[in-house]
Amino acid sequence: MAHIFDPEERAKLDSPERRAEMPPEETLVKAGIKPGDVFFDIGCGTGYFSLPAARMVGPKGLVYAVDASGVMLAEIRSKVASLGIFNIHTLQTPQAKLKMPETEATMAFISDTLHEVEDKRSFLAAVGAALKPGARLAIIEWIKKETPKGPPLKERLSEDEMQVLLKKTGFTEPAGAELGASHILFTCKKAAA
């Protein structure tokens, strides 16, 4: 069974180290976010990417912050209320039976979550089913090599494994780009039916 991030450790999700390696706005631009997007942040944690995404998609866009943890989503709702953000909706769903919002997204974003999922094919198929044809998917994962932090090496996905997995679940061949010293950003699109 894969290691699941402990919500009690949530302060790590917005640390100075993470901001240095993966500045949220800059990372979202690299991932392909656009004004007006209907953006799914899957495994959103405490809103590290959801909150800046809400500003970046603008008033015509919408962000769905999706997570298995009610603790994480409660923190996002608290931040949203204090910041006066109106274009973020939260949705709690178990990873094993990922339930997506009933709207077609133009972009889905999954950061440091996929390695925790047992049935990656079903998980990605559920994401794909919630996307419009041609919609963008961005996945950030740990590089498959030993790093000072992160999940065990055996839980990490290689670039080859990611390519096979995405092709088998209805996405185009992903482009991979290093993101700091420990991560890789994969970008692709939902393939036409």
pLDDT for 159 equals 93
* Tens of pLDDT, residue by residue, the chain (193 residues): 455 655 666 666 667 787 788 899 999 999 999 999 999 999 999 999 999 999 999 999 999 999 998 988 999 999 999 999 999 999 999 877 888 888 889 999 999 999 989 999 999 999 999 999 999 999 999 999 988 888 889 999 999 999 999 999 999 999 999 998 899 999 999 998 6
Domain annotation for the chain: domains and CATH numbers? 16-189 (3.40.50.150)
In whole angstroms, give the CA distance from residue 59 to residue 64: 14
